Amino acid sequence: MAASSVSMSFPSFKLMYLLIFTCLIGIVSAQLSTKFYDKTCPKAVKTITKAVDEAVSTEPRMGASLLRLHFHDCFVQGCDASVLLDDTANFTGEKNSFPNSNSLRGFEVIDKIKSALEKLCPATVSCADILAVAASESVGALGGQRWNVPLGRRDSITASLSESNSDLPAPFLDLSGLISTFAKKNFSTEEMVTLSGAHTIGQARCTLFRDRIYNETNIDSSYAAALQAACPFEGGDNNLSPFDPKTPATFDNAYYQNLVNLKGLVHSDQQLFVNGSGITDGQVSRYSRNMGRFKKDFSDAMLKMSMLTPLTGPHGQIRTNCHFINA
**Spatial separation of the C-alpha atoms in residues 82 and 300, rounded to whole Å:** 23
Tell me if 73 is assigned to a ligand binding site: yes
Tell me if 244 is assigned to a ligand binding site: yes
Other C-beta atoms closer than 10 Å to the C-beta of 50 total 14
Tell me if 247 is assigned to a ligand binding site: yes
Tell me if 137 is assigned to a ligand binding site: no
* Residue 65 CB burial class (10 angstroms; 0-12, 13-18, ≥19): buried
Angle between helices 291-305 and 61-74 (to 10 degrees): 40
**Spatial separation of the C-alpha atoms in residues 223 and 1, rounded to whole Å:** 67
Tell me if 124 is assigned to a ligand binding site: no
Residue pair 55/62 in contact (Cβ under 8 Å)? The answer is: yes
* Residue 92 CB burial class (10 angstroms; 0-12, 13-18, ≥19): middle
Tell me if 70 is assigned to a ligand binding site: no
Tell me if 200 is assigned to a ligand binding site: yes
Catalytic, 70? Answer no
Q: Which of 72, 267, 315, 323 is catalytic?
A: 72
Tell me if 78 is assigned to a ligand binding site: yes
**Spatial separation of the C-alpha atoms in residues 263 and 286, rounded to whole Å:** 17
**Spatial separation of the C-alpha atoms in residues 242 and 255, rounded to whole Å:** 10
Tell me if 65 is assigned to a ligand binding site: no
> Chain centroid to CA 293: how far?
19
Tell me if 167 is assigned to a ligand binding site: no
Q: Which residues are annotated as a binding site for heme b?
A: 199
Q: What is the set of active-site residues?
A: 72
Q: Which residues are annotated as a binding site for substrate?
A: 169
Q: Which residues are annotated as a binding site?
A: 73, 76, 78, 80, 82, 94, 169, 199-200, 244, 247, 252
Q: Which residues are annotated as a binding site for Ca(2+)?
A: 73, 76, 78, 80, 82, 94, 200, 244, 247, 252
